[in-house]
Amino acid sequence: MASIGQILLAGLSLGSVYALTALGFVLIYRATNVVNFAQGEFLMLGAYFLFTFVEGAKLNYGVAAVIAIGMLGVFGLLFALGIYYPLRNRSFLPVIIATIGASIMFQNGALAIWGSSPERLRPVLEIGGSGGVTLGGVFFNYQYVIILAVTLVLMAVQYAFFEFTLLGKKTQAISQDKDMARLLGIPVTGMIALTFMYSTVLGGLAGMLVAPIFFLQHNMGSIPGLKAFSASIIGGFGDVRGAIVGGLALGVLESFGGAFISTVYKDAFAFLLVIIFLLVRPQGFFGEKVGEKA
C-alpha cells in the first residue's frame, strides 16, 4: 500500500513539473497561437542562471533567484523580438520549426558556456539530510512539495488573472482577434512581448525548481518540454486548468505504467494512451469543440 502511495506521489511530482512547464506553453499559445518548442530550453536556462549566481557568484539563494528571473524576462523579450515577431503572420508550421531551431541554438549555446559536466544545485529547503520527510512509509521530497505548491498557486493566479483582471481580459481579446484588439486600443505588441517574458520566467522557474532533483545539463529541458507539450494537448490546448490536469495525468500515467507494465516502455504506454484519448476526445479535457462554419 505504501508503495502504491509512493508511486502515486512520484507521478504527481513528475506531473507537477510537466504542468509547470505546460503553463508557459499555454500562455504563449493563448496570446499568439504559437507552439513554442523552445519552452523546455527556458527551463534549462533558468536552472543555469540560478546555478551561476548561487554556486558561481555565491549569492544568497533568494537574491540569486530574483536576478535570474530578471534575466529570464529579458531573454523572453529578446525571444519574442527575434523569433515570434518576424513570424507573427505566418502559419503554425514555420513557427514550430523556428522555435525548434532556437532550441538547438540555446541547448548548444549552454553547452558551450557551462560545459558538459552535469552540475548540482542545492534544494530550496535543506532540513535534515534526506531533503524530505517519510510519512506512513511514503517519502515526501520537500522540493517536489514546493513544486506542486508553486504550480497550484501560479495556476490560481493565472486563472484569476484571465478571468477577473482587465489586463487578463485584454490578453484574451488579443488571442481571439488581434486586429479587433488593436482597434480597441490595446497595445497588442507590448502585451504579447509581456506574455513571452512571463512565459519565459515561468519556464525558467520550473527549471530552477527541478534543478536540485534532475541536476543541470544542457539537454535537461528537452524531455520536460516534450512532455509539457503533450500535457497541454491532453488538457485541451490553450486551457490553463487543462495544462495542470494534463501534466498531472501524464505524470501519474507514466509512473503507474512504469510500476505495473514496464519501466522501459512507460513513455510508450503514456503516449499510446494520450493518442487513444485524443482520438476519443479530440478536444482534450477542457477544450471546446470548434466546428468550422461553411
213/129 Cα distance (integer angstroms): 14
Distance from the Cα of residue 21 to its chain's centroid: 1
Site for other proteins in 9-38 (CB under 8 A): 9-10, 13-14, 35
Contact region with other proteins (CB under 8 A), list: 115-123, 163-171, 173-181, 197-205: 115-123
Contact region with other proteins (CB under 8 A), list: 70-78, 167-175, 188-196, 265-273: 265-273
Q: Which is nearer to other proteins, 186 or 203 (CB)?
A: 203
CA angle at 117 for the pair 268 and 61, rounded to the nearest 5°: 95
Provide, rounded to whole angstroms, the least separation between the CB of residue 95 and other proteins.
8
Contact region with other proteins (CB under 8 A), list: 58-66, 159-167, 195-203, 260-268: 260-268
Q: Which is nearer to other proteins, 70 or 94 (CB)?
A: 94
Query: Is 107:222 a contact under the CB 8 Å cutoff?
Result: yes
Query: Is 154:163 a contact under the CB 8 Å cutoff?
Result: no
Site for other proteins in 208-237 (CB under 8 A): 213-215, 217-219, 223, 226, 229-230, 233, 237
Provide, rounded to whole angstroms, the least separation between the CB of residue 202 and other proteins.
19
Contact region with other proteins (CB under 8 A), list: 66-74, 101-109, 145-153, 191-199: 101-109
Q: Which is nearer to other proteins, 34 or 69 (CB)?
A: 34
203/80 Cα distance (integer angstroms): 15
Q: Does 79 bind other proteins (CB under 8 A)?
A: no
Site for other proteins in 116-145 (CB under 8 A): 116-120, 129-132, 134, 139, 141
Query: Is 32:191 a contact under the CB 8 Å cutoff?
Result: no
Among residues 13, 208, 21, the alpha carbon closest in space to that of 124 is found at 208
CA 88, 90, 43, 278 dihedral sign is: positive
Among residues 162, 220, 164, 217, the alpha carbon closest in space to that of 195 is found at 162
